[in-house]
Amino acid sequence: MSDSSVRIAGWGKYLPQRVVDNHELERMVDTSDDWIRARSGIVERRIAAPEETTCSMAVRAARPALDMAGVEAGELDLIIVATGTPDHPGFPATGSLVQEALGATRAGAFDVGAGCGAFGYGLVIGAQFILTGAQRNVLVVGSDAMSRVIDWRDRTTCVLFGDAAGAVVLRATDRPGGLLSFVLGSDGCGAPKLYVPAGGSKQPASHESVEARAHFLKMDGRDVFRFATRVIPGSILEALDRAGLTTADLDLVIPHQANIRIIEHARKKLELPPERVFTNVDKYGNTSSASIPVALCEALEQGRIVEGDIVAMCAFGAGLCWASAIWKWN
């Protein structure tokens, strides 16, 4: 039998050591532990040390994923780094930095940018390289140093995000299952709802842009909330339909961890019991591209996914964009 499927053969995560709880934020901006918990479900988040970068966190998540998969770095065909906070703006790709740090001498490498939806896109892209038969071992990492693009004076955003990385190794396999279906979507009308105004080709860095704090993330929280509560159930139902499945078949949903209220809203819309939706937003906040791979790792560590399970992952974010995928755990 030929290796006609893809499987997630290894996984790893990295959370920076430094824990910043809501009380620490109370001393920085006009906010409260009660407000943050009630409006977002977040209790604490991790913040990268000054010497840590998106690349260094990605490497620390990738190594255990490679070990678990039994894949040497030199056997990797491709490295995809999903990130919105690359080490350098534009180029080189953080993927190339990760490739060098791992010693993945045979691998191609690139970044996927799709806001907090990037890992969802990266995972589907990586799987396609394997499903076409072109490649056998693909590393997909979601890594974001959100603390570097957050305005620590803006209480409406700084309380919501954290830093982390998560990685999976995709391998060709003859075990049936793997990626059953996916939905990728984008609504660029929503671009100004969540963006970093300056530092790109539209508004290059200048004294004025720095003074205007235009290199930090800006967000219309209410509109993004409405978008997220629509897109999670909508795209998961569409992906299920493409796989010939229904919500009754779902063993676990791993949604992007942005806000417990968004997740709860989606869970109720999908009519799923709490135990079938994974959450860890309380511990890490919104870690952007790292959110889904870190949640996947923790779900696996907790034994919440076993062979044969149907798992839905739904990433969404700036763009606005979304990426949902249905996997049969093989």
**What residues are labeled active site?**
116, 256, 286
For residue 243, the minimal CB distance to ligand COA (Å) is 25
> How far is 79 from 123, CA to CA, in rounded Å?
11
For residue 145, the minimal CB distance to ligand COA (Å) is 16
Which of 23, 106 has the CB closer to ligand COA? 23
**Considering the rule CB under 6 A, would residue 330 count as an interface residue with ligand COA?**
no
The backbone region for 230, taken as left when phi is positive above 0, alpha when psi lies in -120 to 50, beta otherwise, is: alpha
Among 137, 181, 259, 324, binds ligand COA (CB under 6 A): 259
Which of 258, 310 has the CB closer to ligand COA? 258
Which of positions 19-58 make contact with ligand COA (CB under 6 A)?
31, 35, 39-40
Cβ partners under 8 Å of residue 82, min gap 6: 111, 112, 113, 114, 118, 119, 121, 122, 140, 141, 142, 143, 289
**Considering the rule CB under 6 A, would residue 107 count as an interface residue with ligand COA?**
no
**Considering the rule CB under 6 A, would residue 235 count as an interface residue with ligand COA?**
no
Which of 261, 304 has the CB closer to ligand COA? 261
Question: Which 3 state secondary structure label does DSSP give 252?
Answer: strand
Among 28, 88, 105, 156, binds ligand COA (CB under 6 A): 156
- Taking CB under 6 A as the binding criterion, the range among 7-15, 175-183, 218-226, 237-245 that sits at the site for ligand COA is 218-226
Query: Measured in whole angstroms, how far is the alpha carbon of residue 17 from the centre of its chain?
Result: 19
3 state SS for 111-145: EECECECHHHHHHHHHHHHHHCCCCCEEEEEEEEE
Element (H, E) at 162: none
> How far is 227 from 328, CA to CA, in rounded Å?
27
For residue 155, the minimal CB distance to ligand COA (Å) is 4
Whole-angstrom CA distances from 103 to 75, 119, 258 are: 10, 22, 33
**Considering the rule CB under 6 A, would residue 168 count as an interface residue with ligand COA?**
no
Exposed/middle/buried for 38, CB within 10 Å: 0-12, 13-18, 19+? exposed
Which amino acid would we find at residue 94? Answer: T
Question: Which 3 state secondary structure label does DSSP give 241?
Answer: helix
Which of 172, 295 has the CB closer to ligand COA? 295
Beta partners for 108? 78
**Considering the rule CB under 6 A, would residue 324 count as an interface residue with ligand COA?**
no
320 upstream amide cis, omega within 30 of 0 = yes
Burial code (b: 16+ CB inside 10 Å, e: under 16) for 66-79 equals bebbebebebbbbb
Report the 10 Å Cβ neighbour count for 6: 25
- Taking CB under 6 A as the binding criterion, the range among 102-110, 143-151, 221-229, 242-250 that sits at the site for ligand COA is 221-229
User: x/- string (CB under 6 A) for ligand COA, residues 269-288?
Assistant: -----------------x--
Among 18, 63, 148, 155, binds ligand COA (CB under 6 A): 155
Extract the tokens encoding 47.
């913040």
Number of residues in contact with ligand COA under rule CB under 6 A? 18
Which of 104, 146 has the CB closer to ligand COA? 146
Which of 185, 221 has the CB closer to ligand COA? 221
Which of 178, 233 has the CB closer to ligand COA? 233
User: x/- string (CB under 6 A) for ligand COA, residues 108-147?
Assistant: --------x-------------------------------
Interface with ligand COA (CB under 6 A): 31, 35, 39-40, 116, 155-156, 159, 219, 221-222, 224-225, 228, 258-259, 286, 317
